[in-house]
């Protein structure tokens, strides 16, 4: 049986109750999740699991109870703000945390926080599109928005053109004609380290980090500082797929992403003030 790229979108939309953003020939939606930070050894596994879930039209993929387990949160949600904080600056400064809690228990003992993943499903039933046609805008990016510049096809970004799959790098990814796209390539987090600087198009909002306070106290303060509503959207011409999230300052330990604690809060979009695009 030939793979029908539209069928997984219909299945996932039905399972999550997602809004279906479509024109006469193009269907597109945003699916958000929360997982390990980009500095985690499970980062690439998490992204790969997310793309497989999108392609198969299911809400989760991977081994439950592991850091790389993927579970979709839909397109609108409230979630503990601690699940959007990374405690690693990528330059050697870090401390262990998971969902805003220091000294996390197994299997998260070596993790340095969390990140927000923006998944995209896009299918055209008439004609083609390219990665260069797609933009990402909202509260987390500069006024000019962001795009797929600097990315290429791989396990976290799979393109399809008819019967041809693109799951490894090509010479000119931005101009490659596509009829379907499944991606977990846009990532956001908050980072409490003041030593972080802006990275290209990333909009940085430094969170005060007081070296005179304990790591846990700093995380608690940061959760309070980022608790608000954020909105984001993917665009392909006039077609848009949007979502929003409310980050909540929880007085108790925040639930772990991808498991029952998050599901109990809500299904939905997660957002952060620091934007990154995964570049292989």
If you write DSSP's letter for every residue of the chain in order, what string do you get? ----THHHHHHHHHHHT---EE-SSEEEEEEEEEEE-TTSTTHHHHHHHHHHHHHHT-SEES-TTSTT-EE---SEEEEEGGGGBB-B-SSS-B--EETTEESPPTTSTT-BBEEEEEEEEEEESSS-B-GGGEEEEETTB-TT-EESTT---BTTEEEEETTEEE-S--S-GGG--BSEEEEEEEEEEB---TT----TTBPP-PPP--TTS-HHHHHHHHHHHH-SEEEEEEEETTEEEEEEEEEE--SSPPPPTTSHHHHHH-S-----SEEEE---
Residue carrying the six token digits 């980009």: 38
Give pLDDT, residue 227: 80
Quote the pLDDT of residue 273: 35
Q: Is residue 50 predicted with pLDDT exceeding 70? A: yes
What pLDDT digit, counting tens, does each position of 132-168 carry? 999 888 776 544 557 888 889 999 999 999 999 999 9
Q: What is the pLDDT of residue 141?
A: 57
Strand partners, 80: 248
What pLDDT is stored for residue 180 in this prediction? 96
List, in order, residues 6 or more apart from 28 with CB less than 8 Å away. Answer: 21, 22, 120, 121, 122, 123, 234, 236, 239, 240, 241
The answer to whether residue 74 scores a pLDDT higher than 50 is: yes
In a domain, 163, yes or no: yes
- Flag whether 63 is in a domain: yes
pLDDT for 221 equals 80
Q: What share of the chain has pLDDT > 70, as a percent?
A: 71
Domain membership of residue 280 (yes or no) is no
| Rounded mean pLDDT, 179-198 | 66
Task: Work out the pLDDT band at 123, boundaries 50, 70, 90.
Answer: very high
Segment among 55-64, 142-151, 261-270 with least mean pLDDT: 261-270
Mean pLDDT calculated for residue range 23-36? 84
Q: How confident is the model at residue 73 (pLDDT cuts 50, 70, 90)?
A: confident
Residue 231 pLDDT level (bands cut at 50, 70, 90): confident
Q: Is residue 165 part of a domain?
A: yes
In a domain, 37, yes or no: yes
pLDDT category at 186 given cuts 50, 70, 90 is confident
What pLDDT shows up at residue 192?
56
Task: In whole angstroms, give the CA distance from residue 194 to residue 197.
Answer: 8
Q: What is the pLDDT of residue 257?
A: 61
Domain with 253, as residue range(s), is: 6-275
Does this model's pTM top 0.95? no
As for how many domains the chain has, the answer is 1
Higher pLDDT, 231 or 257: 231
């Amino acid at each position: 049986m030939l793979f029908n790229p539209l069928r997984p979108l219909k299945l996932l939309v039905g399972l999550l109750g997602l809004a279906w953003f479509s024109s006469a020939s193009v269907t597109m939606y945003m699916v958000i999740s929360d997982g390990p930070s980009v500095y985690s050894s499970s980062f690439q596994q998490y992204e790969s699991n997310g793309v497989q879930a999108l392609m198969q039209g299911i809400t989760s993929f991977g081994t439950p109870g592991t850091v790389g387990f993927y579970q979709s949160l839909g397109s609108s949600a409230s979630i503990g703000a601690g699940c959007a904080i990374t405690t690693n600056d990528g330059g050697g400064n870090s401390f262990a945390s998971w969902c805003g809690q220091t000294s996390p228990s197994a299997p998260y003992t070596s993790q340095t926080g969390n990140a927000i993943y923006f998944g995209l499903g896009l299918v055209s039933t008439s004609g083609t599109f390219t990665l260069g046609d797609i933009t990402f805008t909202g509260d987390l990016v500069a006024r000019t928005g962001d795009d797929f510049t600097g990315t290429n096809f791989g396990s976290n970004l799979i393109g399809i053109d008819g019967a041809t799959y693109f799951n490894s790098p090509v010479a000119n990814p931005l101009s490659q004609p596509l009829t379907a796209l499944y991606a977990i390539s846009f990532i956001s987090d908050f980072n409490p380290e003041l030593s972080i600087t802006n990275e290209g198009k990333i909009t940085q909002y430094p969170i005060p980090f007081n070296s005179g306070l304990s790591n846990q106290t700093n995380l608690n303060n940061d959760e309070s500082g980022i608790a608000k509503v954020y909105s984001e959207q993917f665009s392909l011409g006039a077609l848009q797929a949007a979502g929003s999230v409310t980050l909540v300052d929880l007085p108790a330990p925040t639930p772990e992403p991808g498991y029952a604690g998050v599901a109990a809060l809500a299904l939905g979009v997660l957002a952060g003030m620091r934007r990154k695009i995964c570049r292989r």
